[in-house]
Amino acid sequence: MRGTMASLYTRLKRLTDCLQDPEKVARFQQLCGVQSSSPHEETDRQEAAGDGPRHRGSRHQDKVLENGAAQCPEEKMRALRRNSLTGEEGQHFIIRSRLLYYLFSLGTELGNELFYISFFPFWIWNVDAHVGRRVIIVWVWVMYLGQCTKDLIRWPRPPSPPVLKLEVFYNSEYGMPSTHAMSGTAIPLSLLLLTWGRWQYPLFLGLILAMVWCSLVCLSRVYMGMHSILDVVAGVLYAVLILIVFHPALDIIDNFNLTYKYAPLIIISLHVALGIFSFTLDTWSTSRGDTAEILGSGAGIACGSHVRYMLGLLKEPSPDTLPFTIPPFTVTLVGKAMLRVLIGLVVLLLIRAVMKMITIPMACKIFGIPCDDIRKARQRMEVELPYRYLTYVSVGFAVMFLVPYLFTWVGLH
């Protein structure tokens, strides 16, 4: 028995080492047409990988690479968004396939703030708020547990060289598991589970869309050089596990948020406590601020839903009317949807900007922290937690209550 366990452990260790190998990330990048802009970096990469001296034609390849960069300067790029902790701007690289570059850039944006602040409001305002509330509950727990797990495991991201970093904004965070892969798995799967039977559409089409969404996000993180294959696989499996646990409880949680008298007080207290816990796990990184934003957004959505329900403004459809049919895409329907999104996002961005202007100086003043260097001040837990949390509680509350009420007032409901 002991020998069997030892053999199983050895096989798992080999598998994890294989999936964590940064050379596999570098090879995938090369396969997709990503190359270093410097031939010397390529030499260092091969020597670091233990490949030894390059073959006889390497000098000719360097010349071709240099000429290619000179003839196609538009292909020479720098990493997306600099690192918010170190100010690192990243290295230059050459893109041989613009199609794959923009495709995977889109994939990685499906796990960033711009997507969340656009997609969730769009779904709530134009599609189905009932489903939107539940998806956000899943998203909050998936992202929170993922970020906390990163700070507990503390595995670094793939090293460079041999990997080329096409994105460095999150480079100061740990890599295991990939929270992009977690959200890219949890959101489409939860949408599929929550809409199937509530809306009429082909199940096969829903499965294909969910698989494409998940695959695009996961592959994009390897393409960007931000995660090993193991990080991505672990993220997918972790998200599925969390979804298995939370999906049966979504109706209970949502009903509690809507109907229990003291739900807002409990929600806000719980989310603040979770935020404080996450801020004590490790030194400052972008993951702490992201965690506070996620918790704040979830609390704001839940509180907005509660207020809207208590005022009789949140009306659930009768079971007799289910399942819904997808309406035809008319000019009026699309125009109203676009107008809601435009007006709503302007309101959300204004609220976010105003709350940032108010909460940062207020937190600095309350806790006696100098505001001369805003960047350093925001890295203090006493400033970042209330600033991020209060700002996104306000944004979430506006998504669920203020903006829909505005739509009703102007006749866009």
Q: What is the DSSP letter of 73?
A: G
Structure tokens that stand for 350 in this block: 């204004």
C-alpha to C-alpha distance for 100 and 46, rounded to whole angstroms = 24
180 is catalytic: yes
3 state SS for 277-307: HHHCCCCCCHHHHHHHHHHHHHHHHHHHHHH
177 prior amide bond cis, ω within 30? yes
Segment 186-191 long-range contacts (CB within 8 Å, at least 24 positions apart): 186/138, 186/139, 186/142, 186/239, 186/242, 186/243, 187/135, 187/138, 187/139, 187/213, 188/213, 188/214, 189/214, 189/239, 189/240, 189/243, 190/134, 190/135, 190/138, 190/139, 190/243, 190/247, 191/131, 191/135
End-to-end CA distance of the chain: 66
Q: From edge to edge, which strands make up the β-sheet containing 92-95?
A: 34-36, 92-95, 76-78
Q: Rounded to an integer, what is the distance from CA 138 to the centroid of its chain? A: 13
d(CA 207, CA 3): 42
Catalytic residue among 40, 130, 227, 247: 227
Catalytic residue among 40, 55, 60, 180: 180
Q: At what angle do helices 229-246 and 2-20 cross, to 10 degrees?
A: 110
Q: Are 360 and 352 in contact (CB under 8 A)?
A: no
Whether 60 is catalytic is no
Q: Is 174 left (phi over 0), alpha (psi -120 to 50) or beta?
A: beta
- Are β-strands 92-95 and 34-36 bridged in parallel, bridged antiparallel, or unpaired? antiparallel
Q: Which residues are catalytic?
A: 180, 227
